Amino acid sequence: MKRAFVLVVVLLASVTLTATLAFSQKTIELKHFNWRPEDLEKWGKIYDEFMQENPDIKLIDDPIPAANYFNNLEINLEGKQADPICSIWQNRVWNNNMFKRGYFVDLTALLPEFKKVPPHHQYNFMTNDGKAFAAPVSAQYTGMLYNKKIFKKYDLTPPVTWDEFIALCKKLKGAGVTPLMFQVKDAWHIHYAFDLMMKPFLGGPAFISQLMSGKYDFTNPKFVDALKRLKSLEPYFPKNYTGLGYSDAQNMVATEQVAIWPGCGSWEVYTIKNINPDVELGVFPTPVAKKGDRAYVTVFTDQGLTIAQSASEEQKQAALRFLKWMTTPRAGALVNKYIGFFNCWDTNVFEDEALKDYAALAGKNGELIISDWAILLSDGSPTATELIQAGISALMAGTKTAEQVAQDIKTGLSVWYGKK
């Protein structure tokens, strides 16, 4: 009797179990690896909208701090342990190398939406022969961020030429306000500021093509002059700025201790507003050499989503659905709304004044430059970013002259630059 009873219980249990399994919807878990722990909750909101339409997929944000991101990603991709969805950055050379090694799924045929994205935003995520491997998600501008209240108080208007810019700084300094924000400690931001302010003096597209041809001589007078020009701004930087870091910059701008932050990225606006919602910010174009010159804009396609080859077939299919959903103007609007970033459709709608100003920059000029010449030259070691950061650090600390810094960059790059 007892045996029969046990048998019945076991049978019932297994039937129930199978039934539950059959009828319960199996959710596929997808983790998204990226370098923005700051945006954890913001991405969550985007995922929520996607998951409402696709309840069988669960998206999880899996960010780690940016400083270790790319090394970690390399290791994980090689070890076939990467998350199904990985964000990659604007470093086109690196992106292509990784794709060549077979880490990412070829999206050329799978993601027809890619071809609908404006061409200049496709560039960072495709090979030279047109193969796509990442879905463009966000773009960034850098610009001359300024505090509107301070400008109003001292009756100032955004400068157009470099000389007007200097005059404005002098006036602010005279009135006891720190005109410019600049920090040296968190080296990664240095070349953003340098690149932005010196674009008018280094030359625009011509400069970039010379660089890419492998024949640029960094000791030429134009480059040295650009370095000297940066150094000449020193009196307008905060006191002891060599000891200040990036967080200090964010905080000081937010608490209105400085008037202008050259090279501030559009990705900072929401962060700064978070610290101090009352601050009124705007952006003006890079001061040019003389009236009538083009004020080049730094824009770059910032984040792209890839599907890791090491993911399971099921995960790849699910990830593809997410990527398709993200590569639409509709998702672009969500990127604007929730994360405060520019999308890759150039259909940006912002309520924030500063972000509107950033958007206006491209509108005025219509000429987009693939940002940051230094990042383009990172195909070997030492990279141009390392050298320019170290060089400017030495320049500002006073241990090297502009000529020496230019020479150092040239010598450093000579290990691999121009030798192909």
Residue ranges binding other proteins (CB under 8 A): 37-38, 40, 62-68, 70-72, 74-76, 78-81, 89, 91, 94, 97, 184-188, 238-245, 247-248, 250-252, 255, 257, 271, 275-276, 375, 378, 380-383, 385-387, 389-390, 393-394, 396-397, 399-400, 408, 411-412, 414-415
Classify the C-alpha dihedral 315-321-325-327 as positive or negative: positive
Tell me the closest approach of the beta carbon of residue 78 to other proteins, in angstroms.
6
Question: Is the Cβ of residue 85 or residue 168 nearer to other proteins in the bound state?
Answer: 85
Question: What is the spatial distance between Cα 28 and Cα 26, in angstroms, rounded to a whole number?
Answer: 6
Question: Is the Cβ of residue 16 or residue 414 nearer to other proteins in the bound state?
Answer: 414
Count CA atoms closer than 13 A to 411's CA, side-chain side: 7
Classify the C-alpha dihedral 73-78-84-90 as positive or negative: positive
Cβ contact 294:365 at 8 Å:
yes
Question: Is the Cβ of residue 295 or residue 390 nearer to other proteins in the bound state?
Answer: 390
Tell me the closest approach of the beta carbon of residue 256 to other proteins, in angstroms.
10
Instruction: Give the three-class secondary structure for 194.
Output: helix
Question: Is the Cβ of residue 83 or residue 113 nearer to other proteins in the bound state?
Answer: 83
Tell me the closest approach of the beta carbon of residue 286 to other proteins, in angstroms.
22
Tell me the closest approach of the beta carbon of residue 226 to other proteins, in angstroms.
19
| Burial class of residue 179 (count of CB atoms within 10 Å of its CB; 0-12, 13-18, 19+) | buried
Contacts of 114 (CB under 8 A, 6+ apart): 107, 108, 122, 125, 126, 132, 135, 136, 327
Cβ contact 142:170 at 8 Å:
no
Tell me the closest approach of the beta carbon of residue 397 to other proteins, in angstroms.
5
Tell me the closest approach of the beta carbon of residue 229 to other proteins, in angstroms.
20
Question: Is the Cβ of residue 83 or residue 346 nearer to other proteins in the bound state?
Answer: 83
How far CA 140 is from CA of 6, 145, 192, 309, in Å, comes to 66, 14, 12, 28
Q: Scanning the structure block, which residue is given the tokens 């500002």?
A: 396
DSSP character at residue 27: P
Tell me the closest approach of the beta carbon of residue 299 to other proteins, in angstroms.
17
Cβ contact 199:369 at 8 Å:
yes
Q: What is the token pair recorded at 189?
A: 């931001």
Question: Is the Cβ of residue 168 or residue 253 nearer to other proteins in the bound state?
Answer: 253
How far CA 357 is from CA of 149, 189, 337, 346, in Å, comes to 15, 21, 16, 14
Question: Is the Cβ of residue 91 or residue 348 nearer to other proteins in the bound state?
Answer: 91
Tell me the closest approach of the beta carbon of residue 25 to other proteins, in angstroms.
23
Question: Is the Cβ of residue 37 or residue 214 nearer to other proteins in the bound state?
Answer: 37
Widest CA span in the chain: 101
Tell me the closest approach of the beta carbon of residue 75 to other proteins, in angstroms.
6
Question: Is the Cβ of residue 244 or residue 311 nearer to other proteins in the bound state?
Answer: 244
Tell me the closest approach of the beta carbon of residue 380 to other proteins, in angstroms.
8
Cβ contact 297:131 at 8 Å:
no
DSSP assignment string, 267-306 = GGHHHHHHH-TT--EEEEPPPBSSTT----EEEEEEEEEE
Q: What angle do CA 403, 383, 80 make, to 5 degrees?
A: 170
Question: Is the Cβ of residue 49 or residue 248 nearer to other proteins in the bound state?
Answer: 248
